[in-house]
Amino acid sequence: MERTLSIIKPDGVAKGLIGEVIKRFENNGLKIRAMKMLHLTKKEAEGFYIVHKDRPFYISLTDFMSSGPIVVMVLEGKDAIKKNREIMGATNPKDAAPGTIRRDFGLEIEKNIVHGSDSPESAAFEIGYFFNSPELIPLTLILSPQGRGLR
């Protein structure tokens, strides 16, 4: 099992795609271990994308990522990093395969609906950027909830 960080970016939230994106993860066997809606400050967006600080699109990207609410999620499953990136599609929606989130809904290379970690190292950094360990619900509890009427 592997974990990855997913973000539904401000364009995905604004277009009403939260449910659509989550449905695709669930249909592909990815379990949601943690989830929250946030509105990042510019500084928080800069910190998250620090790996891109020298790229020409850094200012525009961090303006965009702090422009409205986002949904951040920890996904877990077999090969979750690769699987999530397959479901998302290529960075530029024009290059993304048919049936991927970015191809189906992305406007252009920056406003491409979703983010996904690209390696185990970035997943660890990105999950830790938004979540403390106690915020991750144990997988066993997700798969077989304990409670009144559910035993």
Which residues are catalytic, by number? Answer: 115
Residue whose CB is less far from ligand IDP, 33 or 111: 111
Find the binder of ligand IDP among 118, 124, 125, 136 (CB under 6 A). 118
Smallest distance, ligand IDP to C-beta of residue 110, A: 4
Residue 20 engages ligand IDP in binding (rule: CB under 6 A): no
**Partner interacting with residue 112 (select from ligand IDP, Mg ion, none; CB below 5-8 Å by kind):** ligand IDP
Smallest distance, Mg ion to C-beta of residue 118, A: 5
Residue given tokens 């364009």 in the structure block = 11
For 56, other C-beta atoms within 10 Å of its C-beta total 8
Binding piece for ligand IDP, criterion CB under 6 A, among 19-27, 112-120, 123-131, 136-144: 112-120
Smallest distance, ligand IDP to C-beta of residue 77, A: 19
**Partner interacting with residue 6 (select from Mg ion, ligand IDP, none; CB below 5-8 Å by kind):** none
- Using the CB atoms, write b or e for 108-141: b if 16+ within 10 Å: eebbbbbbbbeeeeebeebbeebbeeeeebeeee
Two tokens at 7? 């973000």
Two tokens at 67? 């422009």
- The residues, any chain, with a CB within 8 Å of residue 119's CB and separated by 6 or more, are 81
Strand residues in the chain grouped as ranges (E) = 2-8, 31-38, 70-77, 114-116
Residue whose CB is less far from Mg ion, 110 or 118: 118
